[in-house]
Amino acid sequence: MKNILKNTAILTLLFAITTGMATEPKIDLKTDSEAKILVLEMDATSSKSEVRLTDSNDNIVHYENVSESSYTKKFNLKNLEDGIYYFTVENPLKKLVYTINLNNREIKIANKKESSQIPVLRKSGYRIFLNLLNKDLNTVKVKVVNGNNEQLDSRVFMGDLNIGNVYNFENAIRDNYIVVVHDGKNTYRQSISIE
C-alpha cells in the first residue's frame, strides 16, 4: 500500500514538473470584419499546436499542425457560407475554441472557451496511445479518420472506467490521420502524418 501511494505521488510530481516546463503559447485571434478575414498570432510554442476550422456539423474546413516558435496567418473566410464556425487552437496543455458568426455583412467572434487539458491521446513514433479515466462512466466514442475525413475505424466503450487502446499506423498508407475521442463532455484529437 505504501509503495502504491509513493509511486502515485512520484508520478503526480513528475507530471507537474513536465507540465510546468512546457511553455503555453500566447494565442491571439483578431477579425477584419469587412474583409471577412481572421488573423491568428501565436508565440512561444514549445510543442506542436493544432489549428482547426470546423463548421457547425463538425466538418473540417481547415486543419494544420504548427510547430514554429512564432506563427502568424490570415484566414480568408469570404467564400464560406453564412453560419456558425468553430476555430480551435489546441496543444497538449490547452485548448481554445472560438465561436465565429459569419454572415454576408460581417464576421464576429461570439465566444471564446479555454480549457486546460490532461493528455488523453499521446503520439509516439507511428503509434497513438489512448488512455482515459472515465470517472462518470459515460459512453465514449472513438473514431479514426483519414485526410479526406473518411471514417476508417469506430469504437464505442460503454460504462468502462479505464479506457486504453493503441492505434498502430506503422503499415498505413501515406496520408494524414486523426484519432478523435468523445467522452460525452469533451472531444480530444491527435493527428499523425504518414509520409
Rounded CA-CA distance 119/166 in Å is 15
Rounded CA-CA distance 157/147 in Å is 25
CB 153 within 8 A of CB 180: no
CB 38 within 8 A of CB 87: yes
Does residue 3 form part of some domain?
A: no
Domain edge (last residue) among 88, 116, 144 = 116
User: Which of 36, 31, 116, 42 has its CA nearest to residue 72?
Assistant: 42
73, 144: one domain: no
Round to the nearest angstrom and report the end-to-end CA distance of the chain: 47
pLDDT of residue 166: 92
Residue-wise pLDDT tens digits, 61-85: 999 988 877 888 999 888 889 999 9
Residue with cell 484519432: 179
Number of domains in the chain: 2
What is the CATH classification number for the domain harbouring 70? 2.60.40.3080
pLDDT of residue 117: 60
Domain edge (last residue) among 77, 100, 116 = 116
133, 185: one domain: yes
pLDDT of residue 14: 46
102, 164: one domain: no
Rounded CA-CA distance 173/74 in Å is 32
Domain edge (last residue) among 91, 116, 141 = 116
pLDDT of residue 150: 92
Of the chain, the percentage scoring pLDDT greater than 90 comes to 29
β-bridge partners, 7 = none
Per the structure, the complete domain to which residue 150 belongs is given by 121-194
pLDDT of residue 88: 92
Encode the chain in three state secondary structure. Answer: CHHHHHHHHHHHHHHHHHHHHCCCCEEEEEEECCCCEEEEEEECCCCCEEEEEEECCCCEEEEEEECCCEEEEEEECCCCCCEEEEEEEECCCEEEEEEEEECCCCEEEEEEEEEECCCCEEEECCEEEEEEECCCCCCEEEEEECCCCCEEEEEEECCCCEEEEEEECCCCCCEEEEEEEECCCCEEEEEEEEC
pLDDT of residue 42: 83
111, 129: one domain: no
Does residue 11 form part of some domain?
A: no
Does residue 161 form part of some domain?
A: yes
Residues of the chain with pLDDT under 50: 9, 11-22
pLDDT of residue 2: 58
β-bridge partners, 88 = 52, 97
